[in-house]
Structure 1
Amino acid sequence: MNALVVNSSGRTEQSVSRKLVAELVAELSTKHPGLQTTYRDVAIGLPFVNDLMIGGFYIPDEQRTAEQRQALIWSDELVQELQAADVLVIGVPIYNFSIPASLKAWVDLIARAGLTFKFSEAGPEGLLKGKKAYLVVTSGGLPVGSPADLATPYLRQVLAFVGITDVHIISADQLNLLGEQPVGTAREAIRQIHAVVA
């Protein structure tokens, strides 16, 4: 089984989402010996979608210029990582009610017509069906699932758009208000996860 692990916290040593993501991956490895894991730290930096990329997104490869192919290298690599994964783990610290800009850049680069979704008579159809996703969501003061939480419904929508509808949220929210209690709750949820059918 293949796992793609995406971290997006701007913090490293002090990141709660990174620590919980690592614990979740360890739990998955216990339930699935031989788990193959690919790590993608988007906080290091990804390019934002630009004119060259957009020009190359919607035409066949043989019609792309050399500059467009070069511009799509990042996007192609990220899409291939996602296509190869059976399970997706995303660390999601909530920044200003939503996801980090680096994670939005990842979303914009993996949403590719003909690769992760297609247009049909019924509308867009996701091409990455059969995968499971875990969102490890942390926040300082915002309750996850509240009306002000724009991060989790957005990511559910994005993942469904590319065909991933089996989405499980593990949250450690309101850390600035509740201290370690939410982390303990998240760790218990991680221990309770079931094996992923691949």
Structure 2
Amino acid sequence: MKTLLHIQTSIFGNDGQSNQIAQSYIQKWQADNPTGAVVERDLISQPLPHMDLAIATALRAPADQRTAADEQVIDLSDTLIAELKQADAIVLGVPMYNFSIPTQLKAYFDLLARAGETFRYTENGPVGLIESKPVLLITTRGGMYKDTASDHQIPFVQQFLGFIGLTDTRVIYAEGLAMGDVGEDSLKTAHDLAKNLA
């Protein structure tokens, strides 16, 4: 049975444009994979703790030196990593907030970055330990940022995913959403692309 992992990061929930485009993809994927399962990881309704000293310490503590609080952090991290490993494909919403990714997504990434679990360093540099699989990134922006120096989102997300081994990424851009007809056309194109890519 195939599994699709949907990571939702829009603060607007089901009304968020990135989530709605993702749903176009998911509906087509489900039609093509009637026995498949969709696993939902909603980082808004089920927020993760943001990185602090306690979390950083727990993620680095040797197994035989962990406290009970450390183990809670590790258990959460293990759950998130297992979801990634078990998925056959991933769809990730990346709305732009103040030129960057949602802070909830950064918290998610921080809990995924585990030396010896999701990456390791070698004499030739870092190596990702998550087996690569298709990842669809859906980014929504009020203005136009694609392929400009102001796009601090997608390059960062792709860099992080590649760092842990997820190098097979595709991107759907829905831009100019605050620019009237430009935004409406961009949204329609994004929905069509989502259905085609599924």
Output the TM-score relative to the length of structure 2: 0.91
Contact 1:135–1:168 (8 Å) recurs in 2: yes
Distance apart, 1:97 and its partner CA: 1.2
Give 1:24's aligned amino acid.
Answer: Y
TM-aligned CA distance change 1:85 to 1:93, over 3 Å:
same
Q: What secondary structure is seen at the aligned counterpart in 2 of 1:53?
A: helix
Matches within 5 A, 1:83-102: 83-102=85-104
The corresponding residue for 1:38 is: 39
Matches within 5 A, 1:53-132: 53-132=55-134
Give 1:40's aligned amino acid.
Answer: R
How many equivalent pairs are there? 194
Q: What secondary structure is seen at the aligned counterpart in 2 of 1:155?
A: helix
Q: What secondary structure is seen at the aligned counterpart in 1 of 2:138?
A: strand
Query: C-alpha distance in 2, partners of 1:34/1:13?
Result: 24
Q: What secondary structure is seen at the aligned counterpart in 1 of 2:44?
A: helix
Contact 1:56–1:69 (8 Å) recurs in 2: yes
Give 2:191's aligned amino acid.
Answer: R
Q: Which runs of 4+ in 1 moved over 4 A?
A: none
Q: Indicate yes or no: 2:14 matched with 1:10.
A: no
| RMSD of Structure 2 on Structure 1 (CA) | 1.6
Unaligned runs of 5+ in 1: none
Query: C-alpha distance in 2, partners of 1:33/1:13?
Result: 23
Distance apart, 1:192 and its partner CA: 2.1
Q: Indicate yes or no: 2:189 matched with 1:185.
A: yes
Give 1:54's aligned amino acid.
Answer: A
Decide which of 140, 145, 148 is 1:146's aligned counterpart.
148
Distance apart, 1:90 and its partner CA: 0.5
Query: C-alpha distance in 1, partners of 2:22/2:102?
Result: 16
Distance apart, 1:132 and its partner CA: 1.1
Q: What secondary structure is seen at the aligned counterpart in 1 of 2:121?
A: strand
The corresponding residue for 2:53 is: 51
Output the TM-score relative to the length of structure 1: 0.91
Distance apart, 1:27 and its partner CA: 1.6
Query: C-alpha distance in 2, partners of 1:2/1:66?
Result: 32
The corresponding residue for 2:29 is: 28
